[in-house]
Structure formats: C-alpha cells, structure tokens
Amino acid sequence: MDIRLTDCSVRFGDRVALHPLALTLNERRIGIIGLNGCGKTTFARLINGLVKPTTGRVEVNGLDTVKDDRAVLAEAGFIFQNPQHQLIMPIVSDDIAFGLKNRGLPAKEISLRTEAVLQRFGVSHLARRRVHELSGGETQLVAMASVVVTGPKILILDEPTNQLDLRNRRMVAETIEALDEDTIVITHDLGLVEGVERLLLFHEGRLIADGSPGETIRHYHEVAGC
Ligand SMILES: Nc1ncnc2c1ncn2[C@@H]1O[C@H](COP(=O)(O)OP(=O)(O)OP(=O)(O)O)[C@@H](O)[C@H]1O
C-alpha cells in the first residue's frame, strides 16, 4: 500500500480527534492499537475517506480522499466494528452479489465471483442463509467476503475479533492472515497484531509509537499502566 498523510488533523466541532500528523505507510500488514477513544477508528476512516481531514491531505495509492473520494472507497474496503450493520440484503449470497450489481457487472460474472469468494472464505454452506441468523464469526467472514468481492487493494478491519469466542476468533484471525490484500487492522486483541510488519500506537489523538509489534506493545503497556 502507499498511504500518505500530510499535516493531517481531524476535529469534530471543538474536539480534536487527531492532532496534526505526517505519515507514510508502505507495508503490507499494519496494525493500530491504543486505549478507547484514542483516535484509532478516526484514523482508519480517514484512510478510506469516510472521515475527511480538517486540515492537510490524505492520499491512498495516489488518490486524494477528498477529490477522488469514490475511487478511494473502491481502493480501500472497510469492514466495520459491527459488521452486521454493513450487510444490506437478507440472504448471504445476495448481499455478496449486491456490490457487484451496483457496479453493473453481467449476471454470469456476478454469480461466478460470488461463488468464488464464498469458497475462498470457507462459507459456501452459508450462501442461502439469512444474514441476521449468522453467528458472530460467520457474520465477520461474510462481511469480509462482501467487501473483498468488489476487489479493493487495501482492507481496513475495525476490531474484527470483537465479541468472538475462542474458536471463531481463531478462524477469523487465520482468515485475515491468509488475505492477499494489504491489511490495516485496528484492534484491542494484541494477539492479532503480533505478526504485523508495523504497529502504530495512538494515545489521546496522537501517534506516540510506530515500529515493530514488540516495541509498540511494550509502549502500550506503559501507557495503559498495566
Ligand atoms: N463523529 C464524531 N463526532 C464527534 N466526536 C467523535 C466522532 N467520532 C469520534 N469522535 C471522538 O473522537 C475521539 C476518537 O474516537 P475514535 O472512535 O477514533 O476512538 P477509538 O480509538 O477508535 O476508540 P475505541 O477503541 O473505543 O473504539 C473520541 O473522543 C470520540 O468521542
């Protein structure tokens, strides 16, 4: 990935969510950690243009998140903290096909791509199930499949193992590890980011550590005081 933030800050009213930041991200696997409310989700949303910078500029693979907002959304797919909210259609395969229909693809191609992505995520058996009847882990995998099927180069996953039991957590963690796409994972689940190439730590709206997982996690324990 090639993400560049130039003097970028975010304010909501008079609340500063992110202090000015200059940063370039080129690694394939990036993690983001920090205490509740430190600005992780704001930072992640900035990258795919869901949040616009109050000052400065964000470029994602050469695209400006303000000027090229639609192209940025296609380039960087976002899997939300509560993925059930991003599933729109009642049936799993229809939900996966939805993004492709919106792009005007022919029916045959939609069906082939839907089948392929269901298989890739190991959820072919869920194709005709109702999305609101899926377990937490199944929902997470289907949400990932729905985003991946449209072909983004970067995937941003916001707390993907939140509320999953041990078995589902492991399944989702292994699926994320096996992804071909570049990934940015925001999490409180430190095991999920032990293997990333670069781990960022935010604190009170500032990037305070940026390095290997070992160093950044040590710093996080100091900040958290435990
Ligand atoms: N749309 C918004 N309007 C106003 N304030 C916001 C908005 N989004 C985030 N904030 C504030 O910005 C700060 C950073 O929030 P953010 O969601 O980025 O934190 P986070 O690190 O992802 O937290 P958590 O770990 O609890 O999910 C918080 O003080 C939050 O209340």
Residue 34 maps to a domain: yes
Atom 18 in ligand 1: which residue has the minimum CA distance? 39
Beta strands in 13-144 (DSSP E): 15-25, 29-33, 55-60, 63-64, 76-79
pTM of the complete model: 0.94
Mean pLDDT in the chain?
95
- Of 11, 19, 35, 38, the residue with max ligand 1 atoms within 8 A of its CB, to mutate for a pocket test, comes to 38
What is the rounded distance in angstroms from the CA atom of residue 144 to the CA atom of residue 13?
32
- Of 9, 10, 15, the residue with max ligand 1 atoms within 8 A of its CB, to mutate for a pocket test, comes to 15
Atom 24 in ligand 1: which residue has the minimum CA distance? 36
- Residue 186 sits in which domain range? 3-85+152-224
Residue 136 maps to a domain: no
ipTM: 0.96
Residue 137 maps to a domain: no
3-state secondary structure of 153: coil
Going from the C-alpha of 189 to that of each of 11, 75, 108, 116, 143, the distances in angstroms are 27, 26, 40, 29, 19
Residue 147 maps to a domain: no
What tokens appear for 182 in the block?
A: 């570049």
Residue 97 maps to a domain: no
Residue 143 maps to a domain: no
Where does ligand 1 bind, in terms of residues with CB under 6 Å? 12, 15, 17, 34, 36-42
Burial of 48 (0-12, 13-18, 19+ CB in 10 A): buried
Residue 73 maps to a domain: yes
pLDDT at 163: 83
**Residue 12 CB contacts under 8 Å (≥ 6 apart), including other chains:** none
Q: How many domains does the chain have?
A: 1
Query: How would you write the pLDDT of the chain (226 residues) with one tens digit per residue?
Result: 999 999 999 999 999 999 999 999 999 999 999 999 999 999 999 999 999 999 999 999 999 999 999 999 999 999 998 888 889 999 999 999 999 998 899 999 999 999 999 999 999 999 999 999 999 899 999 999 999 999 999 999 999 999 889 988 999 999 999 999 999 999 999 999 999 999 999 999 999 999 999 999 999 999 999 9
CATH of residue 212 = 3.40.50.300
Residue 116 maps to a domain: no
Return the biggest CA–CA distance within the chain. 56
